[in-house]
Structure 1
Amino acid sequence: MSLIPGIGEVRFNRLLKHFKRVSDVFNAEVEVLAEVGRISRKMAESIKRGYDCAEVQKILAKLSNAGIKIVTMEDADYPGKLREIYDPPPVLYFAGDMPSANAPSVAVIGSRKASSYGKSMTERITAELVAAGMVIVSGFARGIDSVAHSTAIENRGKTIAVMGCGLDIIYPSENKQLYEKIIRSGCAITEFKPGTPPEAGNFPKRNRIISGISAGVVIIEAAQKSGALLTARHALDQGREVFAVPGPANSASSEGTNKLIKSGAKMTTSVADILEELRIQFKTPPISQSEKRKMESLDGDQKLIYQNLDENGVQIDRLAALVSVAMPKLLGLLLEMELSGYVRTLPGKRYARV
């Protein structure tokens, strides 16, 4: 039904809300369709005639060749939070593995012209969100979006890239390798059918999906007219939480985020700010029986530190937030534990259980 000219998200959802199933829409009388859908008789007759089978077959062939799948609002796999928004896309095209419909997710977005500060904050916040079990959603753009996707993958997390074109078109083209990594550790999704180019008007529509699929939106660097601010507006309209990372007062790339904070967005400098607001707690890594026996010889803060480490390593800033121990003291305790054979140091200021 989404292929019938003139049937956009709002009309589709209005008809589906009334008839419950797409098959019942096609079986309805023209007069009923016109009244319920608030559409012209001509459009109602187009619905009764049905879709162009040749066009559908053409699209299905493209999907199959490109490894692209479809999920509709009638499917259980359709993202749960996306159903809640005013104009959810009736059909999503995706490549990779769609996370479970109710998987907790947070969007991390920002400027295409990311500064070293913006990249550093994106890496830190994204890594900590992944460690807390969050799926990272972003828009696959240059700059902050690409850093968010890459960091999620590097930390063995899941990420969703929301595209502003058909999935058979990689935009920006320099992100081709990143795209391949994303669909191996998460998925890329779009509401646009194959062959749809990345036109300017697609991206504001894309932004409502980024916020709609997420519990909250974290904005890291945004100029006054950044598209990330449009996503923030969508998030507020959808009842999602909006977080903004403050930046230097003299930085043009932080004007938008600083303005958001003045307007009531929640200022955030660490993932603890985000999880506290979303009421999502850090996951405590599972502990084996042998590790439990090791813990018995530890006291107080060292036991808490060991409990919150895992075999893959935990970044030092996240560990400090988890155990609420001041950094100088934490570093001293970790050194003692490393000398005693309880922990080991990994690249990137990360620590792992031994």
Structure 2
Amino acid sequence: MAHEIKYWLALGRVKGVGKLAYKALIDEFKEPALVFDTQIKRLEEIPGIGKKTALNIKNFKEWDWVEKEIGLIKKQGVKFLTLTDTDYPNPLLSIPDPPPYLYVKGTICKEDERAIAIVGTRLPTLYGLSTAEKLARELSVYGITIISGMARGI
């Protein structure tokens, strides 16, 4: 598990690899580990990957961050889902730039297809917090799943 996750996380940290470039690389190579083993010239052939980004991939040095993140994933009991996992939510696969991976705490059920994310600032006001909580509570009464990005704030 950790070996596979390592490359998914690393590719997400490469400067110049946004969601569209990430998806193009996965569409081409199927697995991020193969991206890191590919020659620079070959990487440059992928749409959205220029010489600079190809060099950033080949010279990636944030492996310590990757290992720490894997440790946090295990410690928190978080499931790590990638675009290629069968559990990856179908509605996300239908958008042009789906997140390459998701952190899932809890379970994803069929009922979760009706879901909404409440997104806000890292430093919310008391009014912002109470409004977000009220909105989440009221939506959940109607069977709508509330998604959290697991970040600080709202």
If the length of structure 1 is used for normalisation, what is the TM-score? 0.34
Match of 1:105 in 2: 113
Task: Return the letter of the residue paired with 1:99.
Answer: C
Match of 2:99 in 1: 89
SS of residue matched to 1:39: coil
- Pick aligned residue for 1:150 from 129, 137, 146: 137
- Distance in 1 (CA, whole Å) between partners of 2:61 and 2:91 is 29
Query: Which structure would you say has the larger Rg?
Result: 1
Listed as ranges, the matches of 1:177-192 within 5 Å are none
- Distance in 1 (CA, whole Å) between partners of 2:93 and 2:130 is 29
Match of 2:84 in 1: 74
- Distance in 2 (CA, whole Å) between partners of 1:80 and 1:64 is 25
Match of 2:118 in 1: 139
Match of 2:62 in 1: 52
More strand as a share of residues = 1
- Distance in 1 (CA, whole Å) between partners of 2:75 and 2:12 is 21
Task: Return the letter of the residue paired with 2:146.
Answer: I
Matched, 1:7 2:17: yes
Structure 2 unaligned segments of length 5 or more: list them: 1-10, 121-128
Match of 1:18 in 2: 28
- Pick aligned residue for 2:53 from 30, 43, 47: 43
* RMSD across aligned positions (CA): 2.8
Alpha-carbon contact 1:34-1:40 (below 8 Å) kept: yes
Match of 1:235 in 2: none
Q: Against the structure 1 CA distance between its residues 78 and 51, is the aligned structure 2 distance closer, same or farther, given a 3 Å change threshold?
A: farther
Q: How far off is 1:74 after superposition?
A: 1.6
Alpha-carbon contact 1:71-1:78 (below 8 Å) kept: yes
Q: Deviations over 1:255-275 (max 9, x none)?
A: xxxxxxxxxxxxxxxxxxxxx
Match of 1:338 in 2: none
Q: Against the structure 1 CA distance between its residues 94 and 64, is the aligned structure 2 distance closer, same or farther, given a 3 Å change threshold?
A: same
Structure 1 unaligned segments of length 5 or more: list them: 107-135, 173-354
Q: How far off is 1:56 after superposition?
A: 0.5
Alpha-carbon contact 1:6-1:43 (below 8 Å) kept: yes
SS of residue matched to 2:85: coil
Q: Against the structure 1 CA distance between its residues 99 and 158, is the aligned structure 2 distance closer, same or farther, given a 3 Å change threshold?
A: farther
Matched, 1:161 2:147: yes
Alpha-carbon contact 1:149-1:161 (below 8 Å) kept: no
Q: How far off is 1:43 after superposition?
A: 1.9
Listed as ranges, the matches of 1:172-321 within 5 Å are 172=154
Q: Deviations over 1:162-210 (max 9, x none)?
A: 43xxx252x24xxxxxxxxxxxxxxxxxxxxxxxxxxxxxxxxxxxxxx
SS of residue matched to 1:137: strand
Q: How far off is 1:81 after superposition?
A: 1.3
Task: Return the letter of the residue paired with 2:116.
Answer: V
Q: Percent identical across equivalent pairs?
A: 26
* Greater RCO (CA < 8 Å, at least 6 residues apart): 2
Alpha-carbon contact 1:10-1:87 (below 8 Å) kept: yes
Task: Return the letter of the residue paired with 2:145.
Answer: T
- Distance in 2 (CA, whole Å) between partners of 1:93 and 1:23 is 19
Alpha-carbon contact 1:140-1:146 (below 8 Å) kept: no
- Distance in 2 (CA, whole Å) between partners of 1:83 and 1:6 is 22
Q: Deviations over 1:198-257 (max 9, x none)?
A: xxxxxxxxxxxxxxxxxxxxxxxxxxxxxxxxxxxxxxxxxxxxxxxxxxxxxxxxxxxx
SS of residue matched to 1:33: helix
